[in-house]
Amino acid sequence: MDILVILEGANGAIHRISKEAVAAAQALGKDLNQKVSVLVFGKNSDNLSKEAASFKVDEVLLVEDDNLKSYSADAYAETVKQIVEKESPKFVLTGYSYLVRDFFPKVSARLQKPLITDVTGYKVEGSKTLFTKQVLHGKLTVDIETKVDGPVLVGFQSAAYSLDNLEKGSAKIRTAEVTLDSAQLKTTSEEPFQEESGGVDLTSADKIVSIGRGIGKEENIPMINDLAAALKAEIGASRPIVDSGWLPNSHQVGSSGQSVTPNLYLALGISGAIQHVVGMKGSKNIVAINRDPDAPIFEVADYGVVGDILEIVPKLTEALKNQ
């Protein structure tokens, strides 16, 4: 086996981030002239395996086991480990979702093989395949090289590959077996739940004024309320603002918050970490104000201002009121 993609189910279908990983695998497969297989595992995963078989891949491996009925980090890790040992792929790719983050490093530990995470792309250079990721608050990028034989494990950053490139086909399904000893499964999990429904719905907003840690202190929030009122915009925020309790959770934009696509996204004092950017880069117009000219937010902005929000925002609000 050449390239194996680990698929994750979410609400009875294959998780978007897993499909992005299949798109990445198809591209890598073409470049390296290698075949792509996918792994579906769980209990009663007919829907998932059928969906997987609709991708242009060599084959779908299906593992069904009672111990995989609900999420268990140990059962998931052990399943992937045993399949990788049996099938000896050269690459094991997956979308680095919040569930995969929980068990995939265990696979790395159990196989003693390298895992590269939050990967945004790859480069084939001669006989080497390097994987690219952002480091140091997203300000710099590295190409990572592996030094061992056998499988390289890769977790792709959300939205690194576009679903537009996912090629459809029809693959055959092969069932595979693993041996899971329930005594070895240490963790048990309950059903996923949503903390608070209600709060603001930013997904349908036309204009969003979004604040980050650059706002400095809670006392400066009213300044943003004024701006949002003058612009008739909703208020969004980066994670640290919500973590500090300055705004409720429902205002958070990013991978653990909402994904938004307004006509105007005004980013104020937000550095542009990848977990924030995945939630707002689909906005039609992004305007960013940040005092650091190297802030990664400028990479996705249509208009940028290098400056102090505490100085600019009050004047901008005044000017908007005079329109």
Partner 1 sequence: MKIGVLVKQVASGESPLRIDTSGKWVVEESIDFTTNESDSYALEEALQIIERSGGAGEVVVISMCPAERTPKIIREALAKGGHRAIHIQEEAPYETDPFMVASIFAEALKDESFDLILSGLQSDDLGSGQTGVILGELLGMSTATLVMGVELQKGKLRVKRELESGWFQWVTLPFPACITIQSGLNQPRYPSLKGIMGAKKKEIKSIAKSDVKGSGTPMQEFSRMYTHKAEKRTEMIEGSTDQIVDRMIDIFKKNIKVI
Window 259 to 278, contacts with ligand FAD (CB under 6 A): 269-271, 273, 275-276
Q: Return the number of the residue (58 or 308) whose C-beta is nearest partner 1.
A: 308
Out of ligand FAD, partner 1, none, what residue 26 binds, judged by CB under 5 to 8 A for its kind, is none
Contacts of 96 (CB under 8 A, 6+ apart): 17, 104, 117, 118, 119, 155, 156, 157, 158
- By CB under 8 A, what part of segment 122-181 binds partner 1? 130, 133-137, 139-148
Does 118 contact partner 1 by CB under 8 A? yes
198 Ramachandran zone, left/alpha/beta (phi>0; psi -120 to 50): left
Task: Please tell me whether residue 154 binds ligand FAD under the rule CB under 6 A.
Answer: no
200 sits near ligand FAD (criterion: CB under 6 A): no
Q: Which does 245 bind (CB under 5 to 8 A by kind): partner 1, ligand FAD, none?
A: partner 1
151, amino acid identity: P
Contacts of 109 (CB under 8 A, 6+ apart): none
From the list 164-172, 181-189, 195-203, 289-297, the region that binds ligand FAD by CB under 6 A is 289-297
106 binds partner 1, rule: CB under 8 A: yes
Q: Give Rg (Cα) of the chain.
A: 22
Question: Looking at 256, 303, 319, 321, which residue binds ligand FAD (CB under 6 A)?
Answer: 256
> Residue 53's Cα: distance from chain center in Å?
23
- Is there a contact between 202 and 236 (Cβ–Cβ < 8 Å)? yes
Residue position matching structure tokens 């003693």: 112
Q: Of ligand FAD, partner 1, none, which one sits near residue 309, judging by CB under 5 to 8 A according to partner kind?
A: ligand FAD
Residue whose entry in the numeric block shows the structure tokens 């000893």: 181
Interface of this chain with partner 1, residues 66 to 95, rule: CB under 8 A: 71, 73-74
Is 139:146 a contact under the CB 8 Å cutoff? no
In the numeric block, which tokens belong to residue 135? Answer: 């480091």
Residue 304 as a binder of ligand FAD (CB under 6 A): the answer is no
By beta-carbon proximity to partner 1, the closer residue of 61 and 233 is: 233
Q: Which stretch binds ligand FAD (CB under 6 A): 20-28, 35-43, 170-178, 285-293?
A: 285-293
